[in-house]
Structure 1
Amino acid sequence: MSADTSLGSQSLFSGEGGMQDFGNGLYMLQLFANICMVETGEGVVLFDLGLPIDGPRIVQELRAVTDMPVRYMIYGHGHADHAFGSRAVLEDAAERGHDKPVIVAHESLPRRFDRYQRMLPYHEHINRIQFGIPEGIPAFPWDYIYPDEVFRDEMTFCLGDTTFALKHARGETDDHIWMWIPERNAVCASDFWVWSCPNVGNPFKVQRYALEWAQALEDMASLSPELMLPGHGAAISGAAEVEEACHTVARALRLLDDQVVEMLNEGKWQEEVLLSFAWPQEFAASPYLAPIYGHPYFVVQALLRQYHGWYDGNPSHLFPAGSGELAAQVLELAGGAGLVLAKARELAEAGKTQLALHVVDYVLDAGAEPRREALELKTSLLEALAAKERSLIARNIFLGGVRQIKKELQG
């Protein structure tokens, strides 16, 4: 199919966009995550390898356009949707009698794979919540194919008449890379570009890097590419639009970084920073920064974690009492759980859903009765938040809480 790069076509997880042909041997297979394919006179280079279940589809779509051997497979980073469809490609090469493709990644990626395997149950658990994956369906990869070659800052190789320049920059991961193909005037951006507010500060995941992310986008724009192939969603075509897109997101990230640093230097603590940072309308209305996956609040959380320790400025919280013990005292002061639940309903009716949730939690944390009534109220509050929430991550966290409560109620 021909590529649709109009703004109206954008969706973070647009799924079955299928194989898109940009001409001159450059393709993008748009699945849950995108796989870039570059055909040269001496073979094929694949950039990003999708989910484990994507492997057969990658081979099918590849073989519909070329019989050339795959010479290189490049992991844009080590996340589950970008580095785990390679098994089927290796098997296809063996069946055809081709040489084994060389797998290339950043030098930090093997350590990521080691950590994933050490903590498989944990990652299975958090990914199930983050993506709303039902029980019984695997939520995290178990088959790890490590790279054959790794690099630190940059790596350039040629295949046929085509140059592939791999660039490392910390962004969504510490092993993140992007690829510049000068003869095709194209950039493969991996998750440096996903048609959303950048996923800096994912509530479940390790540290991510806003400033380096911004710099990577600026570096891409400086090359004036005519085409940018993202990690998710549709491609961006035209040097002017690529430049505008990259610089808009980079400016947004730098603005948040500047605000956090300025407020910390003024002696403000985390809560005050989170409640007072500004997100200008220019960015709130931008199609490049829609909070459909990442969120500016998450970015600020990541910046605080990067620049700041965990102490929140209140000595009472240094060695805090347990939440249940504190909640029991609050219920006693308030005159019992019934009055607290009544207050939570009053807040909910006034549209203060988040505040109502906190109040309900005093009843639940204290283990007080009527527990079922409190759980049912919390369910309705979480469902109300989920119905209005644009961020997939935040929405699935709310709905994950609903599922957990319903499991208890049914038990």
Structure 2
Amino acid sequence: MKRIAAMLLTSVLLLSCVGCAQDGRKELGAEKADLGLTADVKPATNFTAKANAAIYDELDFDDKQEYEFATRGLIDAPETLELKDEDGTILWSQEAYAFLDDYEKAPDSVNPSLWENTKNNHAYGLFEVTDGIYQVRGYDMANLTVIKGDTGWIVFDTLMSVECSQAAMQLIEKNLGKFPVKAVIISHSHADHFGGIAGVMAKEDKADETLSIEDQLASGKIPVITPVGFTEHSVKENVYAGKGMGRRSNYQYGILLTPGVTGKLAQGIGMGQSTGTVSFMTPSYEIMQSGEKLTIDGVELEFQLTPGTEAPAEMNTWLPQYKALWMAENCTGTLHNLYTLRGAEVRDGAAWANYITEAISLYGKDAEVTFQSHNWPHWGNNVVNDYMVNTAAVYKFINDQTLTYINQGYTSDEISNMIELPEALNKIWYTRQYYGTVAHNAKAVYQKFMGWYDSNPVNLNPLMPSDSAKKWVEYLGDVDKVLQMAKADFDKGEYQWVAEVTNTIVFADPTNTDARLLCADALEQLGYQAESGPWRNEYLTAAQELRHGNANFTASTKSTGDMVKALSAPMLFDYMAIVMDKQALADRDFTMNVILPDVGEQHMLRVKNGMLLVYADTLSDDADVSITCPKNALFAILTNNQETVTQAVKVEGSAELLTLMMENMNQFPITGANPFNIIEP
């Protein structure tokens, strides 16, 4: 393992260093060196400035096609764009990036390629894709798209926040007229595409899912159309691992950072994540197979399911009347993620490529424009086909080359350091690593096929990171000398190594200020050099928290709670099992019947030594306790809302067992932020 080898080398060096006793400890009377470290944000070093300047020689900055496409078709945009809630809290801002206009070239603290992508994503407003298809871009991380039917709008994706989607619809109505929403189509199961739906339509206006799609369209209500599996994958990703993912999202999307030349920039698929109110509605109709066709308000649509690509449930849409192909998030004008830093299921690079080539086979001959849920369209049949072919080729290369290396015996870390795109693909602006990276996508392929284990038995059962760090520090002996050496390496531009060794000291002793500050300085320079917006955010957020402490208490989106309430009863039981204090109930063994008349379900739960087992469509003849309630009352049980439970839940048998369960669903907060540490123990 490279980290261990490097640390062993350091140990050897330290044992021979002047100023260390034979046992590796600091000699008596030795003074701690003043490394001159501060908690201030630093400028780019000469090493970083040179590394960033070299990008100008690597790429063709005279090629302005992506900028031209990003700004093409602008109809209207406010002079400034900053959305706030009723308390004045900023939920979304393009005004924060006004500094972009103050520079002719990228400052030394920004990778010039990422700077170009940021300028492109700063182009916001209402744009025409083609006559009848319009997008509001730059009002959230994703785009809100409308297609004009005979009498109203078909809305594709609804942004992440209600406040953002409301503002987008207001811009559309101001310029194109006010028309009713005839249908909402959600392309896939990620929150930045459905969270703003309550800003587009009211829940009571949703069509009845028990009706056929034809009857839904005729009813005057609004069908919500998604790919099959949308609800399950949406709630699993955003609820089961939601607290962990939410905290990690603060790092990936830079929510805790201030925009600026030493702060947050674009994310490759937008300027970042809005922090408004996230809503959720279950679909009224699911597309079950590729090739399914619908006509909505005079607009013909043909759907292509693409499961396991950018999302577990996703679909493209072909609009033959417009010769326009909606690529959802399968083509986005940047290299995307096979693994995302916030955490998610690993995606299938080969399947991703295959679905793009399938779209080319189906629609490439006729398509004159591709547009998608992030970034800008691409126009012209030749451009469209090149765009899709090159995008598919990148994912296929990463998948196949990683497998080549796996079969040559290389590990995940080795492959991620070795793999490089072919030069021709690497120089294309829309396949650059603004969001996903080749290194991490290769790790995703490794994980998909081989899992986390590298087959080195030393790594079968490693120590806790903080325990391992303490042993390393014990072996290293003179931590002050290590920090002096690390500072010397920092001055030579060896930022990754410096970050690794100083973070080891931080995990051994979080109070070591010099280790924290030097680690922060190293991470900051890595952030300045990063082409990937999320990588920049990760580095800079970690640096900020090392300098000033965990700030996650102030960073979270607002939630309507609709997503948790949308869980089916079995999924709510699964979530209860995740939240439950299993140690507190380790000696318990009892059964509970749960009868849900409003959804016609009955389940038996068994708490067995702290684990909650679920038996669907089953009741026990001798349950210790039985409850009867509406399905939504399970949310009150989950959140230990005693008042609601008393009102809504009928209990027979040992009521204290229900109380016991409720009181022990306490392992993390269901609502609000969960500010666990990341860069320190």
Fold conserved between structures, TM > 0.5 = yes
Q: Deviations over 1:9-62 (max 9, x none)?
A: 444771552221244312122133112211122532111111222221232133
Q: Deviations over 1:243-294 (max 9, x none)?
A: 1111111111111111111222233322222222232222221111121111
Aligned CA-pair RMSD: 2.6
Q: Is the 8 A contact 2:227 2:305 kept in 1?
A: yes
Q: Is the 8 A contact 1:34 1:231 kept in 2?
A: yes
Q: Is the 8 A contact 1:168 1:178 kept in 2?
A: yes
- Give the SS at the match of 1:279: coil
Which residue in the other structure is 2:534 paired with?
Answer: 393
1:105 equivalent in alignment to 2:226: yes
Which residue in the other structure is 2:336 paired with?
Answer: 198
1:125 equivalent in alignment to 2:263: no
Q: Summarize the Cα distance change of 1:161–1:332 in structure 2 as closer, same or farther, 3 Å threshold.
A: closer
Distance apart, 1:119 and its partner CA? 4.2
TM-score, with normalisation over the residues of structure 1? 0.90
Which residue in the other structure is 1:297 paired with?
Answer: 439
Distance apart, 1:158 and its partner CA? 0.9
CA distance in 2, matches of 1:150, 1:168: 11
Matched AA of 1:407: H
Q: Deviations over 1:310-351 (max 9, x none)?
A: 211211110112333333333343332012112212222222
- The residue correspondences of 1:86-235 to structure 2 (distance < 5 A) are 86-91=197-202, 99-115=220-236, 116-134=238-256, 139=275, 142-154=278-290, 155-169=292-306, 170-206=308-344, 207-222=346-361, 223-224=363-364, 225-235=367-377
CA distance in 2, matches of 1:365, 1:88: 44
CA distance in 2, matches of 1:210, 1:86: 30
Which residue in the other structure is 1:80 paired with?
Answer: 191
Which residue in the other structure is 1:56 paired with?
Answer: 166
Q: Higher mean Cα deviation, 262-271 or 389-398?
A: 262-271
Q: Is the 8 A contact 2:126 2:134 kept in 1?
A: yes
Q: Is the 8 A contact 1:173 1:208 kept in 2?
A: yes
1:20 equivalent in alignment to 2:127: yes
Q: Is the 8 A contact 2:156 2:185 kept in 1?
A: yes
Distance apart, 1:399 and its partner CA? 1.4
Q: Is the 8 A contact 1:172 1:200 kept in 2?
A: yes
Q: Is the 8 A contact 1:201 1:300 kept in 2?
A: no
Q: Is the 8 A contact 2:189 2:312 kept in 1?
A: no
Q: Summarize the Cα distance change of 1:327–1:126 in structure 2 as closer, same or farther, 3 Å threshold.
A: closer
Distance apart, 1:140 and its partner CA? 7.7
Q: Deviations over 1:43-97 (max 9, x none)?
A: 3211111122222123213323144432211111122221122212214996xxx
Give the paired residue count. 401
- Unaligned ranges ≥5, structure 2: 1-63, 71-116, 206-218, 258-272, 552-681
Question: Is the radius of gyration larger for structure 1 or structure 2?
Answer: 2
Which residue in the other structure is 1:402 paired with?
Answer: 543
Q: Is the 8 A contact 2:246 2:342 kept in 1?
A: no
Distance apart, 1:112 and its partner CA? 2.5
Q: Deviations over 1:127-175 (max 9, x none)?
A: 222211149x974854221111112332320134431012111211111
- Give the SS at the match of 1:195: coil
CA distance in 1, matches of 2:327, 2:165: 20
CA distance in 1, matches of 2:66, 2:274: 33
CA distance in 2, matches of 1:327, 1:92: 52
Q: Is the 8 A contact 1:228 1:237 kept in 2?
A: yes
Q: Higher mean Cα deviation, 70-79 or 332-341?
A: 332-341
Q: Is the 8 A contact 2:144 2:165 kept in 1?
A: no
1:7 equivalent in alignment to 2:117: no
Q: Deviations over 1:191-227 (max 9, x none)?
A: 1122211222112221222122212222333312101
- Give the SS at the match of 1:294: coil
Q: Is the 8 A contact 2:317 2:327 kept in 1?
A: yes
Q: Summarize the Cα distance change of 1:140–1:125 in structure 2 as closer, same or farther, 3 Å threshold.
A: farther
1:328 equivalent in alignment to 2:470: yes
Which residue in the other structure is 1:71 paired with?
Answer: 182
Which residue in the other structure is 1:41 paired with?
Answer: 150
- Unaligned ranges ≥5, structure 1: none
- Give the SS at the match of 1:20: strand
CA distance in 1, matches of 2:231, 2:518: 45
Q: Higher mean Cα deviation, 393-402 or 267-276?
A: 267-276
TM-score, with normalisation over the residues of structure 2? 0.55
Distance apart, 1:376 and its partner CA? 0.9
CA distance in 1, matches of 2:375, 2:451: 36
Q: Summarize the Cα distance change of 1:226–1:397 in structure 2 as closer, same or farther, 3 Å threshold.
A: same
Which residue in the other structure is 2:650 paired with?
Answer: none
Which residue in the other structure is 1:280 paired with?
Answer: 422
Which residue in the other structure is 2:456 paired with?
Answer: 314
CA distance in 1, matches of 2:181, 2:296: 11
Q: Summarize the Cα distance change of 1:92–1:7 in structure 2 as closer, same or farther, 3 Å threshold.
A: same
- Give the SS at the match of 1:90: coil
Q: Summarize the Cα distance change of 1:178–1:81 in structure 2 as closer, same or farther, 3 Å threshold.
A: same
- Give the SS at the match of 1:319: coil
Which residue in the other structure is 1:357 paired with?
Answer: 499
Q: Summarize the Cα distance change of 1:407–1:21 in structure 2 as closer, same or farther, 3 Å threshold.
A: same
CA distance in 1, matches of 2:475, 2:462: 19
CA distance in 2, matches of 1:85, 1:346: 50
CA distance in 2, matches of 1:368, 1:162: 60
Q: Percent identity?
A: 19
- Give the SS at the match of 2:121: coil
Q: Summarize the Cα distance change of 1:333–1:24 in structure 2 as closer, same or farther, 3 Å threshold.
A: closer
Q: Is the 8 A contact 1:127 1:139 kept in 2?
A: no
Q: Summarize the Cα distance change of 1:68–1:401 in structure 2 as closer, same or farther, 3 Å threshold.
A: same
CA distance in 1, matches of 2:134, 2:184: 14
Q: Report runs of 4+ in structure 1 exceeding 4 Å deviation.
A: 137-142
Which residue in the other structure is 2:484 paired with?
Answer: 342
